[in-house]
Structures are given as C-alpha cells and as structure tokens.
Structure 1
Amino acid sequence: MSFDLLITVACLAVAVVMFLLGKPRADAVALIMIVALPLSGVVSVNEALAGFSDPNIILIAALFVLGDGLARTGVAQRVGDYLIERGGSSERRLLTLIMSIVGMMGAWMSSTAVVAIFIPIVVRIARQSNIPRARLLMPMSMAALTSGMLTLVATSSNLVINSALIYRGLKGFPFFSFTPIGLPILAAVIAYMVFASRFLKGAAGTEATHRPSVNDWVARYSLQGRAFRLKVALNSPLVGKTLGRGGLGDNPDAHVVAIERRAGMGTSLLLATSESNIAPDDVLLLDVDVAAFNVQSFCERFALVSLRMSGAYFTDQRHDVGMAEVIVPPDSSLVGNFARSSVALRRHGLTVVGLRRADAAIEHDLQTTRLKVGDTLLVVGPWINIFTMQSVEHDIVCLAMPVESEAYVPAPHKQVYAVGCMALVIILMLIPAVPNVLAGLIGCLLMGFLGCVSLDSGYRAIHWRSLVLIVGMLPFSIALRRTGGIDIAADAVLSVAGGWGQHGLLAAVFAMTLIVGLVISSTATAVLMAPVVIAIAEHLHASPYPFAMTTAIAASAAYSSPISTAVNALVNTAGGYRFQEFFKVGLPAAIASLVITVAIVPLLWPAYPH
C-alpha cells in the first residue's frame, strides 16, 4: 500500500468517524476533506473543487426548487387532504394510501421535502383516526426512501452514480430505468409495513405532546355552528357595495372574516374591512352569533346562497384561513378597548372570534366586551396576516399557532402552473437532445416567471448542506482511483464473491452498499461505492450497468438506521423511535429489496450481454 493511499484511507476513516459522531455536522466534514486532500498532495485544488461545476450538482439544486414550487402552491397539501378524505378510519387503508402517495411524490421531488411536508399531515391523520403516530410515521419514511428507486432524479445518489458512469465515458441511465425495480420494491415494502407497523411503539408520551389544532380551539372557544360560507348571487343588492354600506362592516352579531374571490384558475382570499367591495360570485366567510342573528333571513334578504361546509369552523379553508391564540399583556394599548374594534388587529386584517377570561369562554357580546390584562383571544384571518402580526405586533403576544400553520400555502392559485412546469421538466428529460440539468433550470425559471416560487424562496429551498456534502466527498473517488484504492476494494470483493455468479456478486455489492449506508448518508455512500463497482465490472470485463443500478437501489434502501438519512432523522424525532425499532423493522425490508433487485437487474442489464 503506497503512502498516498494510506493518507487517502486515513482521511476517509476520519470522515466516517466524524459522520458517526455527528460532530462536526456532515457538510463541515465535507469542507474539511476539501481542504485536507489537496494539502496531502493526493489531489489538486482544482480537482477538489471540481464538484461545484458538476452539472448534476446544479440539477440537484434545481430539483429542490421545483419541489418547493409544488409545496408552495399546495399540491402536496392537497394530496394530504385526499388522504384524510379517502382513508377514513381504517389503519390499513390509511397506511397504504400514505405510503403509495408519498412514494409517488418522492419520485419527482426531494424525499426530505416530502417527509417534512407530510409529518404534520400524518400526525393530524393519526390524531383524528385515533391511531398511534409511530405506526404511520416510519412507514411514511420508508416509502419516501423507496421513492428514490423510481426515477433518475428521485434522489441525489442516483444522479451521483449516473454521473460516475458518464465520467468514465459511458452512457447514463434513462429517466425511467429505475422504475421496473423500484415499483415492485415499493409494493413489497407497503405490503410488509401493513403487517409490521403493529410492532412500532415509539416513545412513551409522544402522543400527548402535540401542538393544538384548529379543532381543539373550536371546542375550547365554543365556535361550533358559528361559521358560514355565503355566495353572492348576481342579483344580490350587495353587489357593488362595500361591506360597511351593506350592513356587515360593524354588525355586532355577524362579522365577515374574509372574502373568497375567483382569481385565474383558483381563488384568492381578500381582507374583509368596511371598505371592501362586494362582487358577484364572491363568497363571504361569516362568523355569526347564531343566538342573535338569523342567517336564513339574511340570505333571503340579500340573495345569498349558503354553501355546504364539511369541516368545523372554516377548517375546509385551512390552507387560506388561519388562527392564532394571543394574550393581552399588561402594557398593551388594547386594555379597556372593545375586543372587535381593536385598531391593532384591524390593521393586520384579523378578527377576534373567541375570548377566554378566567378559564371560561365568553361566547356572546364580543363586539361590546372590553379587554382586560390576561385575556386570551382567538383571532382569525389570512395566514400571511397572522405571521405578520406575530413578528411585528407588540400590543398582543402570540401564545400558540395551530399545527395547521405548517400547511400554509403562499400561492394556492398557482397549483396548475406548478404541476405543468413539473410535467414539462419530465418531458424534457425524456428527450435525449436536452440535458437533464437544462430541463431542470427551464422548470425553475418557468416556476419563477409564473409566480410559483420567488427568488428568495428558491434560494431558501436549496439544501446547501447536501450539495456541499456531495461536492466534498467527490474528491475521494479521484484520490482512491489514483492511489489504487478502488482496485484494492474491487479485488477484495471479487476474492470473496467472485465465484458466486452474477446473482451472488450483485447480492454482495448490495450488501456492502447497505452496510456502508448504515453510518453515512446515501449520497456519500454512492460517491464512495460508484467507482468501486465500476472497477469490479472492468475487472470482470462485464457491463457496469447491473452493478451501478444495484448500488443505486441499495443506497436508497437505508431503512435500518435513523442516523444516515435526513428522512429517517425527521421521523425519528417526530415518532420518538428507538434505534432498535429502525433496525428490527427496517432490516427485513432491506433484505426484500436485495432479493427483488438481484432477481430483476440481471434480466434488464445482463452482466455479459450477447
């Protein structure tokens, strides 16, 4: 073993130890390696930094932005609503739907982003269905990991291995080349988790420690039956008038929370003030003191149509209409003022719909009730106004935000544009003449032009830590190849499994990748394993594609460890799992993935094609 190889192996060992310890964090480890390898003389500075110019790095960044566009426009949240509607109270049906939809969505956007979006959705589903959240969260994360096996762009590890093939002068994988393997594995994992989820317990007490929901506040502040959605007919006398002139601006018994109005292909939520104009087909979101206000008579008088509401108190509109619980501090200028005539709340476009004093709800006369120090108010209005109030208002202090606040969608009327942009990107990626990175950048520009994302949100959506981690680990493949380390690793694998035949060798490659993936991220695993498996193919004078595909699938099958992927780390915290639960439940799924991969890959990519 040469001195340069010793230095390279030592640096790699130090990096793995730091990954295991979690100190410093993974991207800092990558930066340390970018500095250490050139200082050792094994690679040059230009080689160490070459990853920043890799087209796949730009493509990964573009995919983060595209995924953010799907989240900001509410596409992901609409899928969550569908789950709640279709799943009912059946745990098996809910689990199957959650895993299927998360798996499909993860094929087009970051699996980490999908899990971050779905954690509050799944927690809400678990609470409403009286199912322990631990029995749904880990299956969701396993589906998200499996989604990386469905398309070329589903996970960065696929792109890393694809890049390694291109670097060696070979053709990359087509966009859907992973799908024939990923779909059977996803089906097998879903079927397995329907059975195995019953063994997931999570940490004791996890179910009791959750943020309040809108439904909790509806009960706490006695809001049942007070919400109405009234559509303005074309012949309504309110058309062309303001809320004030129509008699709703300062009505003590009925208050318009907001106005829904058609905008393009969707609807937008408008602030409701005395000066707000009313147009045909507007929908008034009305909070009513039903004991003092006759809604039916009001509808007949002003030609309004009462629309059906399936949820309690505007929960059907939770993507647009928000709630917050606030308290009146001692130095507030609101003390002594009427609850609903607060200038501080009016300037934020918020309405007081609930008031609690001395742990009792005041259900009537909110318009004439004067505020006291320590009063707790429930305010309602557009989410963006609530967030603004929370950050700049000093006359009230925000006590709590509901769990639904995590489902806030900044651009709900842009959903069709976001889906169209994503579809265009996929179509462009299927055209051989269009590089994948160019297709991704075109999609990002279109989403920005159409308002699905902004420049600021796009930059925030990029997971820079992941990019730095990939770039920082890429020089190891150069160093190991130059110093002979890859050949040594390939020879070691061949000496053990060389006589096992094609299926046995692929199983050994899968197992080795799986073991490495227990302690480091799937991306780092792909960076380290890609040159090794390509070298194995070269030593055997065989096609590199079955070995590369097996490695890519194995890198995504990191079901058994809560520390090696951000996906598992997120649900580990939310579900309160123990390491043993991940290993006990995840290992059989990983073995099933191995069996399916080893069975299918040789059929699609023979090692010795005729």
Structure 2
Amino acid sequence: MTPAMIMTMIVLVFVICLFVFEWVRVDVVGIMMMVLLPLIGLVTPKEAFVGLSSNAVCSIIAVIIIGAGLDKTGVMNKVARPILALAGKSENRVILLIAGTVGLISSMMQNIGAAALFLPVTQRISKRLGIPTSRILMPMAFCAIIGGTITLVGASPTILLNDLMVLGGQKLEPFGLFTQTPIGVCLLLTALVYFIIFGKLILPESTGKFGKGASEMLIREYQGVNNIVELHVPEGTGRGGILDDLNIRPKFLVTVIGISSPSARTTNHVPHSHEEIASNDDIAVVGKKENIDQLAKEYGWVIKDSLETFAESLANTNSGMAETVVSPRSELIGKTLNEVDFKELFALNPLVLFKDNKKFYSGLTNIKLAMGDTLLLQGPWEKFHILKNRPQPRALIFASPLEGEILRPTKAILAVTWLAIALIQIIFFKVQLSVALMSGALGMIITGVLTIDEAYSSVDWMTVFLLAGLIPLGIAFEKTGTAAFIAQAVLQLVGHPSPIVLLGVIGIMTSFFTLVISNVGATVLLVPLCMNMAVMAGGDPRMAALVVGLSASNTFVLPTHQVNALVMRPGGYKTLDYAKAGVIMTVLFLVVELTVIYFFYGIG
C-alpha cells in the first residue's frame, strides 16, 4: 500500500467513528471532508467541492422543491387519502402501502425522486394517525433503494451494466429491461416482511423532526378541551333544537365546533348560536370526556368511536388549536366576542378565555375583552394563517406556534404539469436527471406554485452537505487506488471458489464499497474486475456483473446513500439506527439475491 492509500483508510476509519459516536452532526462530517481531504493532498481543492454541483446533490435539491410544490398545492393530500382509507389506523398496513408503493415507483424512476415525492405524504399520514414518523420513513427509504433493483432502468448502477460488460474486447449479451425483475421483486417483498415482523424491534420510537404539534401541548394545558368527539343525533330519540336553546356550553362546558346536516347537505365548521341541530345530524364537539358522555346521555345522542364525517376537516394536518393574545391596539378591546361577531369575522371557534388568572369555558362570548386577555381558538390552519397575515394593527397576537399553511389548490394542475414535464425529459429525451428535475422546480417557482423563499426553505441543507462532503471521499478512494487495491486483494484471497461462492464474495465486496464510494463508482470499478475473476473461476461473467449492479443498492448500514440521507432528519434518525436496521437488511439482501440467482438463473 502507498502512503496515500494508508492515509485514505485512516480518513475512512475517522469518518466511520464520527458517524457512530456522533461527536459532531453528520453534515458537519461532510464539511470536514471538504476541508480535510484537500489539506492532506488526497484530492484537489476543485475535487473537494465538486459534490456541491454533482448530479446527485442537485437532483436532490430539485426533487425536494418539486415535492414541496406538490404538497403546497394539496396534491399530496389527495395521494394520502386512498392510503389512509386502505390502511385505517394500522401501522403495519401504512408501512406496507407506503413502502411498497414507493418501491414499485422507484423501479421505473430514480429512487431519490420517488422517496422525495412521498416524503411529505408520509409525514402527513404519520401526523394524522399519530404514528411516529421514524416508524415509517426508514422502511420507505429502504424500499425505495431496493425498488431500483426491479428493472434495469431503476438505478444508475444497473443502467450502466450493458455498457460495462466488455470482455476481451467483445461486448457480452446485454441484459433486458426485466432480466433482474424476479430478484428485485423478491428483495422488495423480503424488505416489507422484514419491517412488518421486526419493525417494532428495530425502528426507533422517536417522532422525528415534526414531533407533537402545538395543539397537543395546548390540549394538555387546557384540560377542558382534551377530547374532540363526533356525535350522531338519532332520528326520533335524539333531542334537536336551536344551538343556543340547547345550552350545551353553559350546561356541559362542551363547545360545538361542527354541524353536518345530511338533509340540507351542508357542513358548518364554525356554527353560530342561532343554528339548528336536527335529526340525523352529525356534530363535532370539544370538551372533557365525562362532560361529553353526560351530554350524549341526556340528549340521546350517540358517541361515535372515531371521527367519521369530520375525519378529514378535523385531522390535525388540516385544523387545530392556537393560543392568541389581545394586542395593545386591538379592535376587540372593550367589546365582547358577540358584539364583533367574532365567528363571522375570523371563521374560528373560541374555546377558552383566560382573563384575570381565570379560565372561562362558558359565557366567554359575553365578557368584555381587555389588552392581554388570552383566547384559545380552534379552526382550520388556513384561517389562522389569514388572521396572522392581517395588516397592522393586528387584533390578536399568536402566543403558540402556528402549524399548517395556506394551500394553493388553484395551482395544483401547474404543479402536476411541471412534474410531468420533468419526468418526460428524463424518460423520453434522456435529459440528465439534475437538469430535468431542476427545470421542473424552476417552472414551479416561475408560475407561482412556490415562492423562491419557500423553495429555499423546503430544502434540507443538512442532507445536501452530508452527501456533498462524502463525494470527495469517494474520489479519494478511487484516485489513490485504494478501492482497486482492496478489490484485487479480496479476489486474490478467495482463490478459485465455486461460482456461487464467488458471487457471494462479489456481493459482499460491492456492498462494502457502496458505503464509502458512490454506487456508480463501485460499479465502474468492480464490474471489469469481477467479470475476469468469474471467467478464471469457470463462472458466468454476466452474472458477476449483475451481482455487482444489484449489490450496489445494498447500502443500508450508514446514512451515506442519498435516500437514507434524505430521511435522516425528518425521521429523527441517528447513525446507530441505520446500523441497527441495516445490518440485518444487508444480510437478507445478499441471501435473497444469491438464492434467487442460484435457483432461477442456473448458477451452481
């Protein structure tokens, strides 16, 4: 080994230690590589920063912006609905549907694109069902990576195979689009079964970047609003009448926040006191459980097991609670909520008034407001954002974090159009991935799907710098000859094994290299070496090349693959979380891959 090779190996061990022990954040590790490698002469200064302009990193930036545009226009809400309908509240069914869908999609498009597009969907579903994001994102990421093995065009390494299969100056018989499909399908099914059976043991319980929202914190603080329940008014036995006459709030300290009338075909999420409740209506209320039980018993209403009619509108992704304070120059000072017709003015439901160190759950609409009074409000997030963006002087100042956002459903067609334009360039015109995706992202910005500030803020820059910093480390491995040295040493060490044992060694070696250098770099390096070794061992060089191409996707132990890096922060993962789930997945990948090849591809 040369001094440069030894130094490269030392840097690799140093990086692995930083990942494992987490002395610094992973993106800082990437920045350290961009500085350290040129200082010790393993790469040039230009090579040290080439990762920031690489096809992979630019593609990630673009596809995240595209995903944010689809989310901002409500397209991802529509994608989430059928998944929620099929999955119910089952964590396993959610994992199967999301991870399986992403795996199949990534068989025909780049896995990072499939994962990034489904990232906002997964986060919404996770929040809606109360399932920690960390329980869903890692299975989705692993299946996105594995999905690329289903077809020849699913991942960059297999796309390159036919061009690399040259032996003795002669091109070998090329692989077809679906040559590897039996292997890829078995790998994807194995991953899904793995997470369904062992998910609760290997997946972390952390909730990730989004965690519990402000509404949950407010519910804990205001004990009188700790339940949102849907009730039904049975025909004949249920009491109806004008909301004000029913005295629901004064008598039970329960607030009605929604009335749905099938007969009138109307649903009101900000009901006024003069509105009527009739037979067969569905009602959404907020209050203590025992108070709601008493209300239902006395009026003959039926408590539903879960939200049905209001499931979508009252989902925590669409509505919630916020704490507001009457501002010094507020138009509300000296007036009651009834006098200003608060519900008509702001389209929000007042739940609690905190005044003079007392909490008023009843009669609050008739109390004159003063500067500094606190109102707990409930309603759609969009209405809260409209209130927050009102021109000065603002009537209310927000005292709690504001969730949700103002969606732009009128731009949904534009968002889908720009996604389609990007995909058409990739599939039919063979435009480079980063250029095609960036054109889609730019189109969304120019046509107002996203503002430029929203586009910048949507990008997870930790992911960008992590990957950009690892690319020069891969360059150092190849440039110093370290990768070739290790590969040749391993192949010489195994001698002349049987063809299937040789393929196992090739799979293990490729899996290791893809953790430290790019999967494309590992493929370009190993395909010629492994094909020659297969010929010497009396094996099939095409199968050796195929194992290299497939095993280049076997990269789960560290967050070095771009898909794993993408979900790291949203899932709240640590490096050890990847190692915990990834080691077993790596072994399963190799076992299934070699087993299918042994029985279905005539390798003995």
State how far apart, in whole Å, the 2-side matches of 1:356 and 1:150 are: 53
TM-score by length of 2: 0.67
**Alpha carbons 1:525, 1:555 under 8 Å: kept:** no
Aligned to 1:508: 505
| Structure 1 range deviating more: 472-481 or 482-491 | 472-481
Cα deviation for residue 489 of structure 1 reads: 0.7
Cα deviation for residue 378 of structure 1 reads: 1.0
Aligned to 2:530: 537
Q: Deviations over 1:423-455 (max 9, x none)?
A: 343333222553333332332233334433333
State how far apart, in whole Å, the 2-side matches of 1:221 and 1:196 are: 34
Sequence identity (%): 18
1:145 and 2:149 are equivalent in the alignment = no
Going from structure 1 to structure 2, the CA distance change for 1:494 and 1:432 (only over 3 Å counts) comes to farther
State how far apart, in whole Å, the 2-side matches of 1:344 and 1:55 are: 53
1:13 and 2:9 are equivalent in the alignment = no
Aligned to 1:79: 79
Alignment partner of 1:410 out of 407, 412, 426 = 407
Aligned to 1:370: 368
State how far apart, in whole Å, the 1-side matches of 2:476 and 2:38 are: 10
State how far apart, in whole Å, the 1-side matches of 2:54 and 2:122 are: 31
State how far apart, in whole Å, the 1-side matches of 2:177 and 2:100 are: 20
Going from structure 1 to structure 2, the CA distance change for 1:61 and 1:87 (only over 3 Å counts) comes to closer
State how far apart, in whole Å, the 2-side matches of 1:446 and 1:578 are: 36
Q: Which secondary structure does the structure 2 equivalent of 1:324 belong to?
A: strand
State how far apart, in whole Å, the 1-side matches of 2:342 and 2:483 are: 67
Amino acid at match of 1:533: L
**Alpha carbons 1:328, 1:375 under 8 Å: kept:** yes
Q: Which structure 1 residue ranges, 5 or more long, are not aligned?
A: 128-132, 228-253, 258-281, 298-308
State how far apart, in whole Å, the 2-side matches of 1:161 and 1:10 are: 31
Aligned to 1:438: 435
Residue pairs, 1:554-573, within 5 angstroms: 554-556=554-556, 565=565, 567=567, 570-571=570-571
Cα deviation for residue 465 of structure 1 reads: 3.6
Going from structure 1 to structure 2, the CA distance change for 1:558 and 1:40 (only over 3 Å counts) comes to closer
Going from structure 1 to structure 2, the CA distance change for 1:508 and 1:569 (only over 3 Å counts) comes to farther
Going from structure 1 to structure 2, the CA distance change for 1:11 and 1:452 (only over 3 Å counts) comes to same
State how far apart, in whole Å, the 2-side matches of 1:482 and 1:606 are: 37
Alignment partner of 1:328 out of 325, 330, 348 = 325
Alignment partner of 1:339 out of 326, 331, 337 = 337
Q: Deviations over 1:355-375 (max 9, x none)?
A: 245776635x65533236554
State how far apart, in whole Å, the 2-side matches of 1:287 and 1:218 are: 22
**Alpha carbons 1:145, 1:559 under 8 Å: kept:** no
Aligned to 1:303: none
**Alpha carbons 1:218, 1:224 under 8 Å: kept:** no
Aligned to 2:592: 596
State how far apart, in whole Å, the 1-side matches of 2:269 and 2:437 are: 44
State how far apart, in whole Å, the 1-side matches of 2:177 and 2:60 are: 14
Cα deviation for residue 146 of structure 1 reads: 1.4
Cα deviation for residue 554 of structure 1 reads: 0.3
Amino acid at match of 1:43: V
State how far apart, in whole Å, the 1-side matches of 2:595 and 2:407 are: 46
Q: Which secondary structure does the structure 1 equivalent of 2:143 belong to?
A: helix
Going from structure 1 to structure 2, the CA distance change for 1:179 and 1:84 (only over 3 Å counts) comes to same
Aligned to 1:287: 270
**Alpha carbons 1:549, 1:601 under 8 Å: kept:** no
Aligned to 2:550: 550
Aligned to 2:287: none
Cα deviation for residue 147 of structure 1 reads: 0.9
Q: Which secondary structure does the structure 2 equivalent of 1:386 belong to?
A: helix
Going from structure 1 to structure 2, the CA distance change for 1:343 and 1:470 (only over 3 Å counts) comes to same
Q: Which secondary structure does the structure 1 equivalent of 2:428 belong to?
A: coil
State how far apart, in whole Å, the 2-side matches of 1:463 and 1:286 are: 35
Going from structure 1 to structure 2, the CA distance change for 1:183 and 1:53 (only over 3 Å counts) comes to same
Cα deviation for residue 490 of structure 1 reads: 0.7
Residue pairs, 1:412-427, within 5 angstroms: 412-427=409-424
State how far apart, in whole Å, the 1-side matches of 2:91 and 2:407 are: 31
| Structure 1 range deviating more: 212-221 or 186-195 | 212-221
**Alpha carbons 2:270, 2:343 under 8 Å: kept:** no
Q: Deviations over 1:44-87 (max 9, x none)?
A: 33333444454444333322222222322233333333233222
Going from structure 1 to structure 2, the CA distance change for 1:491 and 1:153 (only over 3 Å counts) comes to same
Aligned to 1:399: 400
1:220 and 2:225 are equivalent in the alignment = yes
1:122 and 2:126 are equivalent in the alignment = yes
Q: Which secondary structure does the structure 1 equivalent of 2:553 belong to?
A: helix
Going from structure 1 to structure 2, the CA distance change for 1:464 and 1:73 (only over 3 Å counts) comes to same
State how far apart, in whole Å, the 2-side matches of 1:382 and 1:94 are: 25
Aligned to 1:194: 196
Going from structure 1 to structure 2, the CA distance change for 1:571 and 1:510 (only over 3 Å counts) comes to farther
Q: Which secondary structure does the structure 1 equivalent of 2:377 belong to?
A: strand
| Structure 1 range deviating more: 71-80 or 504-513 | 504-513
State how far apart, in whole Å, the 1-side matches of 2:177 and 2:459 are: 22
Aligned to 2:4: 4
State how far apart, in whole Å, the 2-side matches of 1:450 and 1:110 are: 23
Q: Deviations over 1:288-318 (max 9, x none)?
A: 245x433779xxxxxxxxxxx9756684276
Going from structure 1 to structure 2, the CA distance change for 1:66 and 1:331 (only over 3 Å counts) comes to closer
**Alpha carbons 1:73, 1:409 under 8 Å: kept:** no
Amino acid at match of 2:476: A
State how far apart, in whole Å, the 2-side matches of 1:200 and 1:5 are: 36
Residue pairs, 1:170-189, within 5 angstroms: 181-189=183-191
State how far apart, in whole Å, the 2-side matches of 1:471 and 1:396 are: 41
Q: Which secondary structure does the structure 1 equivalent of 2:366 belong to?
A: coil
Residue pairs, 1:99-498, within 5 angstroms: 99-103=99-103, 107=111, 109=113, 111=115, 114-115=118-119, 117-119=121-123, 121-125=125-129, 127=130, 133=131, 137-138=134-135, 140-151=137-148, 158=155, 181-197=183-199, 199=201, 210-211=212-213, 212=215, 220=225, 285=268, 287-289=270-272, 292-294=274-276, 311=308, 315-316=312-313, 322-328=319-325, 333=330, 334=332, 336-339=334-337, 349=346, 351-357=348-354, 362-363=361-362, 367-371=365-369, 375-383=374-382, 385-386=384-385, 389=388, 395-399=396-400, 401=402, 405=403, 408=405, 410-431=407-428, 433-497=430-494
**Alpha carbons 1:507, 1:594 under 8 Å: kept:** yes
State how far apart, in whole Å, the 1-side matches of 2:18 and 2:207 are: 32
State how far apart, in whole Å, the 2-side matches of 1:219 and 1:295 are: 23
Amino acid at match of 2:424: I
**Alpha carbons 2:161, 2:545 under 8 Å: kept:** no
Amino acid at match of 2:29: V
State how far apart, in whole Å, the 2-side matches of 1:370 and 1:173 are: 78
State how far apart, in whole Å, the 2-side matches of 1:67 and 1:351 are: 30
Going from structure 1 to structure 2, the CA distance change for 1:385 and 1:167 (only over 3 Å counts) comes to farther
| Structure 1 range deviating more: 309-318 or 489-498 | 309-318
Q: Which secondary structure does the structure 2 equivalent of 1:553 belong to?
A: coil
Aligned to 2:303: none
Cα deviation for residue 473 of structure 1 reads: 3.0
Going from structure 1 to structure 2, the CA distance change for 1:560 and 1:463 (only over 3 Å counts) comes to closer
Q: Which secondary structure does the structure 1 equivalent of 2:113 belong to?
A: coil
Q: Which structure 2 residue ranges, 5 or more long, are not aligned?
A: 233-254, 259-264, 280-305, 536-540
Aligned length: 522
